Structure 1
Amino acid sequence: MHLVDSHCHLDNPRFEDDFDAVLERAFSAGIKTILTIGIGEPPSKMSRALALARPATASTPAVYASAGIYPGNAHEATEAEYTQLAALIQEPNCIAVGEIGLDYYHAESPSPEIQKSCFLRQIRIAVDAQKPILIHCRPNDGTPNFPGLDVWNDLFEVIEEHWTPSGLTGVMHCFSGSEEHARRSLANNFVLSFAGHTTFPKSKDLMAIAAATPLDKILVETDAPYLAPIPHRGQRNEPAYTAHTAAAIAAARGMTVEAFAQATTANFQRIFGVK
């Protein structure tokens, strides 16, 4: 079986002590490709993910990287870092710009205007490089932050004006939206990537969306070290656990996990131009 963890954070300090073992466990679980995300936090560190990229071995997956400026750090972005991003995504193993987008959940996030400006700058860099983008979109979810604002509407306004006309594709990372958000994402040439929280008992509506998403428009991810799926909920997540989320979604779709893995791997390879 060949599965892809299409979004994780291997540069997170929680992997420092057992990094090699994490890769070996992933390989043993059938995860043969990993995309690790270079948001840095702060932006000056966005190259750390690319430093972890490597070809597959007999016992470890191939690791690719992205680079981008997370919306929560948009206020820290400098011209030098936009220049750095444009250079990083020319590297063969840096296959996407992201994760980028909007975040209205965290109180410390900069203003929507600053986030949108940073998002737009990175869209333009991605278009120039002809690379996919990885979208972070998080609403306030009942927090008192950014009252009266709809993060999805704001996101799609930027996408539809500045990204969709390019004809390029992208990924709605850790998709957690509604059926309407899914429909609008697909209409704008995005694929939906589902993480471990899709397996939670309270996520029946999200699982229904995963089950209904066209087979050529779906990916699976961990977002490790966050959002470990059932049966590892509450633990540190890691790429090996992609297999649990894939099995749950495959069952909801009435498919074997092998067939689901084949389809999602083909999607990843098509979107990012890798083998």
Structure 2
Amino acid sequence: MIDSHVHLNATQFDTIVDETIKKSMAAGVNAFICIGYDAVTNMKAIAISETYDNVYCTIGFHPEVAKMVTEADLLSLEEMLKHPKVVGIGECGLDYYWDKSAIEEQKFVFKSQIELANKLNLPLIIHMRDSAFDTLEMIKNYKAKSTSGIMHCYSGSAQMVTDFVNENLYISVAGPVTFKNAVTPKEVAKVIPIERLLIETDAPYLAPMPYRGKQNTPEYLPYTLAEIARIREMDKDLLDQITEANTIRLFQLNRNK
């Protein structure tokens, strides 16, 4: 298994990164994509990836910090993206759940990161919350077809999965698929084309059952894998092989930068 989206750079892991990685590897997690989302966590993601051979990172600006992102920040981001362990751009995107007052700032910062992805041929890690149609519109308007990426912890409808896949994107499924009444996530997990399916924890957030409500860890990734295998009526080990191969292909983890 590869955890395609984990925040080992979150403060919750500050004193337990080493322990977390060791326990997760014992649970079958072979590699980790550590996701930055602001200036501080971008630096931490790079530092962690430098320390562990099987940790890679992505860096970018989350929509919640869009108001504070400057042109200088975006220029600095472009330089940092040249680091050999950086394999993608983000977490970026649109989030209308908490704050609808910064939509234009969010769109500008998202567009800037899409353009960087096009320029540097790096995949995007896309955060979408209560913003499905605007997110899809921006992807269609600004993303080069050759630029790939992930709809991380996908929260859209099963019907829209095809729209995002047609834009050369992968769909990542996280812990909520294990929740008892999670009708839509289970529908989504069933319809994602197998060659476009990724798995993630989004730790320390969104712990799967039976740990719902507690701090998440990549050690719990097998619970999400098992539930998707159950939903799709397929062998768990085969699903593991396929999602791992998908992650390696997307992030080009087998090439030297």
TM range (shorter): over 0.9
User: In the alignment, is residue 79 of structure 1 matched against residue 71 of structure 2?
Assistant: yes
Distance, in Å, in 1 between the alignment partners of 2:251 and 2:15 is 30
8 Å CA contact 2:92, 2:124 repeated in 1: yes
Equivalent residue for 2:191?
Answer: 212
Distance, in Å, in 2 between the alignment partners of 1:115 and 1:161 is 15
User: In the alignment, is residue 69 of structure 1 matched against residue 67 of structure 2?
Assistant: no
Equivalent residue for 1:266?
Answer: 245
8 Å CA contact 1:73, 1:110 repeated in 2: no
Deviation at residue 212 of structure 1 after TM alignment: 2.0
Secondary structure (helix, strand or coil) at the match of 2:225 reads: helix
Deviation at residue 232 of structure 1 after TM alignment: 1.1
Equivalent residue for 2:9?
Answer: 11
Percent sequence identity over aligned pairs: 34
Equivalent residue for 1:229?
Answer: 208
Secondary structure (helix, strand or coil) at the match of 2:208 reads: coil
Note the alpha carbon deviations across 1:23-73, whole angstroms, 9 max, x for none: 011100110010011113xx355222111004767xxxx100000011011
In structure 2, the gaps of 5 or more residues are none
Equivalent residue for 1:187?
Answer: 166
User: In the alignment, is residue 136 of structure 1 matched against residue 136 of structure 2?
Assistant: no
Distance, in Å, in 2 between the alignment partners of 1:84 and 1:56 is 24
Return the letter of the residue paired with 1:15: F
8 Å CA contact 1:36, 1:49 repeated in 2: yes
8 Å CA contact 2:145, 2:168 repeated in 1: no
Distance, in Å, in 2 between the alignment partners of 1:166 and 1:123 is 11
Aligned residues: 254
Equivalent residue for 2:25?
Answer: 27
Q: Output the aligned Cα RMSD.
A: 1.4
Distance, in Å, in 1 between the alignment partners of 2:13 and 2:40 is 20
Once structures 1 and 2 are overlaid, which stretch shifts more, 167-176 or 12-21?
Answer: 12-21
One of 121, 130, 138 as aligned partner of 1:158? 138
TM-score when normalising by structure 1 = 0.89
One of 60, 85, 93 as aligned partner of 1:93? 85
Distance, in Å, in 2 between the alignment partners of 1:232 and 1:75 is 34
Deviation at residue 102 of structure 1 after TM alignment: 0.3
Distance, in Å, in 2 between the alignment partners of 1:101 and 1:127 is 15
8 Å CA contact 1:132, 1:170 repeated in 2: yes
8 Å CA contact 2:117, 2:147 repeated in 1: no
TM-score when normalising by structure 2 = 0.95
User: In the alignment, is residue 117 of structure 1 matched against residue 97 of structure 2?
Assistant: no
Distance, in Å, in 1 between the alignment partners of 2:193 and 2:51 is 30
